[in-house]
């Protein structure tokens, strides 16, 4: 049987890792796939650099369209990123009848619905294990391993940059800016880290997982997104005293009213497994009715970890490319005609619990006035901590953990509390999840 020929678009960190792992493990991969898989063509703007990194029998060009138009290429691997030229090339590859493998979470979150519809019409596969959590096989787990289950929620640390920053803030009592600069110096954060620190990268990934878990079209445009730029080291410290750690989580839950899709900093119990995921590592928890809670942990980025997922997709396609398209695993786990238009809940309708930090005047009656407002809005208190201020006299820090309530209730209560004359600084609010 002739080799399965791969056309690689982009020879950056992941592209080079894919080329190297595929060559290094060629024998094992062939034994699993039933045929040889080889990269026969590479498109990269820096042709000379690319030629120096691949063997002489691999054709290097500077235009991805040449790869797509080559009759010898069976599968196009898109590792360019973004949703400009990458979108054009992926759609062109599908139109040319070629299978596609991509690690491009932004592309799928923004255009996944139309990409999968085009692939279905042409009878080709689009595989994207590498788009979420690097080398962790969470897509396969959600799409295949848990197919007998009704998934209740998915929650994950799915951005290594922000997890590294939060780990440094906790371990070294650093400010956000200090931790970000360290992440940039080590290569964990880009020169422009906006997509990571504002939660957008995690939202792309959470949207993909949510679509697969609940059988809905890509919900990115309806996600609630809040990054980590406003987090302060004192809140990380106070959370620790109360038995919690703060993580940036991507959370998707199914309820009778609809689906929650939210990305924001979150207190989680310090004894939980996910609270102890440190540095640039990723972890995803899935709660399902039959199997209960499962955890998927590993490296969420990097050349070879992500290449592991890319090559796993290549092996799947090599095994299944000759199968009847209707017999293949659907792109988003559910049969296309069974996808639902379940509403994505606005954050105001989400029910969760909260960490509140109030800078208040150190005088009698302050606590009573705050708790009275909470009680009027049916918000009960779970725990409380009072700390003297280190930078102002006659002021104290009041930290409150609440039980669950609807976000709109909390918004109303905080608006009233903020207007109290004894509350002298903006209230800090961080959501809390027990994940049990």
Tell me the catalytic residues: 205
Q: Find out whether 298 and 141 touch, Cβ atoms under 8 Å.
A: no
Phi, psi of 193 (to 5 degrees): -90, 15
Per DSSP bridges, beta strands 259-269 and 244-254 are: antiparallel
Note the Cα 292 to chain centre separation in Å: 21
d(CA 19, CA 388): 57
Strands (E) in 95-237, as ranges, are 99-102, 126-127, 151-157, 224-225
Give the DSSP letter string of 217-278. Answer: ---GGG-EE--STT--HHHHHHHHHTTEEEEEEEEEEE-SS-EEEEEEEEEEETTSTGGG--
d(CA 191, CA 398): 37
Residue-wise burial string across 169-182, b where 16 or more C-beta atoms lie within 10 A, e elsewhere: bbeeebebeebbeb
Rounded to a whole number of angstroms, the CA Rg of the chain reads 24
């Amino acid at each position: 049987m002739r080799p399965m020929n791969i056309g690689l678009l982009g020879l950056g960190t992941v592209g080079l890792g894919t080329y190297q792992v595929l060559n290094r493990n060629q024998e094992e991969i062939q034994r699993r796939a039933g045929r040889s898989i080889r990269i026969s063509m590479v498109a990269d703007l820096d042709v000379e650099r690319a030629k120096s990194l691949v063997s002489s029998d691999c054709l290097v060009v500077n235009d991805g369209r040449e790869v797509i138009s080559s009759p010898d290429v069976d599968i196009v691997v898109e590792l360019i990123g973004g949703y400009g030229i990458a979108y054009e090339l992926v759609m062109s590859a599908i139109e040319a009848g070629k299978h596609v493998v991509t690690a491009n979470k932004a592309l799928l979150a923004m255009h996944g619905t139309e990409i999968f519809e085009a692939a279905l019409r042409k009878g080709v596969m689009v595989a994207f294990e590498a788009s979420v959590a690097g080398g962790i096989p969470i897509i396969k787990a959600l799409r295949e391993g848990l197919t007998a289950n009704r998934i209740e929620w998915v929650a994950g640390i799915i951005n290594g940059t922000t997890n590294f920053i939060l780990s440094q803030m906790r371990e070294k009592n650093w400010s956000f800016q200090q931790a970000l600069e360290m992440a940039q110096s080590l290569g964990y954060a880009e020169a422009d880290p906006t997509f990571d620190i504002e939660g957008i990268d995690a939202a792309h990934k959470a949207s993909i997982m949510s679509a697969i878990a609940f059988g809905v079209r890509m919900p990115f445009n309806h996600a609630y997104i809040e990054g980590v730029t406003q987090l302060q080291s004192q809140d990380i410290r106070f959370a620790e005293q109360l038995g919690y750690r703060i993580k940036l989580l991507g959370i998707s839950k199914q309820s009778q009213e609809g689906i929650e899709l939210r990305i924001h900093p979150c207190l989680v119990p310090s004894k939980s497994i996910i609270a102890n995921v440190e540095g640039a590592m990723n972890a995803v928890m899935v709660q399902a009715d039959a199997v209960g809670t499962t955890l998927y942990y590993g490296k969420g980025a990097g050349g070879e970890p992500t290449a592991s997922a890319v090559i796993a997709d290549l092996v799947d396609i090599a095994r299944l490319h000759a199968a009847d398209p209707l017999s293949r695993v659907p792109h988003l786990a559910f049969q296309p005609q069974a996808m639902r238009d379940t509403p994505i809940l606005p954050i105001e309708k989400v029910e969760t619990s909260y960490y509140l930090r109030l800078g208040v005047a150190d005088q009698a009656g302050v606590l009573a006035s705050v708790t009275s407002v909470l009680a009027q809005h049916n918000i009960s208190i779970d725990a409380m901590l009072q700390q003297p201020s280190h930078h102002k006299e006659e002021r104290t820090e009041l930290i409150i953990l609440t039980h669950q309530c609807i976000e709109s209730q909390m918004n109303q209560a905080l608006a009233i509390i903020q207007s109290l004359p004894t509350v002298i600084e903006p209230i800090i609010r961080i959501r809390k999840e027990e994940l049990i």
